[in-house]
Amino acid sequence: MGLLEIALLLLFLLCLLLGAGLWIALALTGTGWVAMSIVHPEPGLFLASAFWESTGSWTLAALPMFVWMGEILFRTRLSEELFNGLAPWVRRIPGRLLHVNVLACGIFGSVSGSSAATCATVSKIALPELKRRGYDERTAIGSLATSGTLGILIPPSIIMVVYAVAAEVSIVRVFVAGMIPGMLVMGLFSFYIIVWALLNPAKQPPAGPRLTFMQKLRESAQLLPCALLITGVIGSMFVGWATATEAAAFGVLGSLILAAVTRTLSWSSFVDSLAGATRLSCMVMFILAGAAFLTKAMALTGIPGALAAAVTAAQLGPYAIIAILTVVYLILGTALDGVSMIVLTTSVVVPVVQQAGFDLVWFGIFIVLLVELAEISPPLGFNLFVMQTLTGKEQTEVAWASLPFFSMLVLTVVLITVFPVIVTFLPDALLGG
């Protein structure tokens, strides 16, 4: 049996197992077992070593810590304080409080690391307030659904940790690389809101009374705890005081202190946050373990190397490869979550990307942006489900409301592809080439 026939067989088997409703981790493991059986008589030995190596990583210890930090903050009044603290500074900008959706999601995303948590937490506060003040509901829903995806682009991010572990690149470099693209996305979202507001002045309420600079500062004092936590977590990694794992532990401690200060820390909320973090972390690690076994099996079959050689022989240009990968990931995004997209494809895609001469840190941000697009792509866009639950709207209605902001994400993908320095400048400047 040739490599092409083996590859098609494995792809069919994986689709069959996933379509049958089997857990993603088990589907990956089963496919890996079949692939390993083709080239080795005792696949069980490789299964045990792959599971141990993939989950016994010190680097991966950052994942449950960042997840726990987000779970703790999800149960605080942080989103309410963010909304109230940011609102005074946008009252004179066209679109007014709609910009708070973008800013609050960006800030909360930097401490939660989760797209769904960011979307749900900020929306619970922002939507009722925006409706009460008379803002256009469609634009508010669209801005919240898409701005919630900033939780996986602005570090620390769970998806970034998963990619860095799977692709064997520095977590800190991937974190740093996400900063400028994250701010770019926020800027494009706000730009669209300004243009929309200028074209639709009747769909926003009149501006409120002017506040003095000191009044704005007093209102923004609520941002101080969150700002200190962000500075502590991300700053310690930037200056080299802490690894990603150590910074994650610091973030958990800081979030516990923040929850205690805001009097939202109770024994019940503590246990709930720990249980939620445990469930999500175990799910992600189980998927990573299955993917590690499949990756090892694929490497022994020689399929990734053959695919990379085939791409080279086809003499496809870099942009052609990126265009193909974009289409593939967008299709996968209609049926899979972000973690699954990354672990399913890394073993095959990374050799191709390296062969084409792309920087793996840049490619990590590229994938994260495509996962962001997947988060608001029907039928399985997680943020669409969140907004559907919060608003009672149909998923298609939420998707249409998100479409203008979706196009801003597409524009960001184009910009970082044409100008990769947007991604690589900061990690090269701060951490060296």
The string of pLDDT tens digits covering residues 167-224 is: 888 888 998 899 899 999 999 999 999 999 889 887 777 766 677 777 777 777 777 7
422 phi/psi in degrees, rounded to 5: -60, -35
pLDDT of residue 193: 92
pLDDT of residue 315: 72
Give the SS3 label for residue 359. Answer: coil
Q: Give the whole-angstrom CA distance, residue 110 versus residue 361.
A: 19
Domain range list for the chain: 3-431
Q: At residue 360, does pLDDT exceed 80?
A: yes
47 or 356, which is more confident: 356
Q: 40-47 contacts: CB < 8 A, separation 24 or more?
A: 40/300, 43/297, 46/293, 46/296, 46/297, 46/300, 47/293
Q: What is the 3-state secondary structure (H, E, C) of 203-249?
A: HCCCCCCCCCHHHHHHHHHHHHHHHHHHHHHHHHHHCCCCCHHHHHH
Average pLDDT, the chain: 79
Give the mean model confidence (pLDDT) for residues 131-144: 86
% of the chain exceeding 90 in pLDDT: 12
pLDDT of residue 241: 80
- pTM for the predicted model, two decimal places: 0.74
Give the mean model confidence (pLDDT) for residues 407-430: 91
Q: Which residues contact 57 (CB under 8 A, 6 or more apart)?
A: 165
Q: At residue 414, does pLDDT exceed 70?
A: yes
Q: Give the whole-angstrom CA distance, residue 151 versus residue 182.
A: 9
Give the SS3 label for residue 262. Answer: coil
Q: Which residues contact 165 (CB under 8 A, 6 or more apart)?
A: 54, 57, 59, 60, 63, 171, 288
Q: Give the whole-angstrom CA distance, residue 325 versus residue 329.
A: 6
Most confident of 70-74, 373-377, 386-390, 417-421: 417-421
pLDDT of residue 184: 94
Q: Give the whole-angstrom CA distance, residue 306 versus residue 302.
A: 6
CA distances from 52 to 2, 46, 57 (A): 31, 10, 9
pLDDT of residue 189: 93
Q: At residue 129, does pLDDT exceed 70?
A: yes
CA distances from 423 to 363, 372, 427 (A): 9, 16, 8
pLDDT of residue 44: 65
pLDDT of residue 308: 58
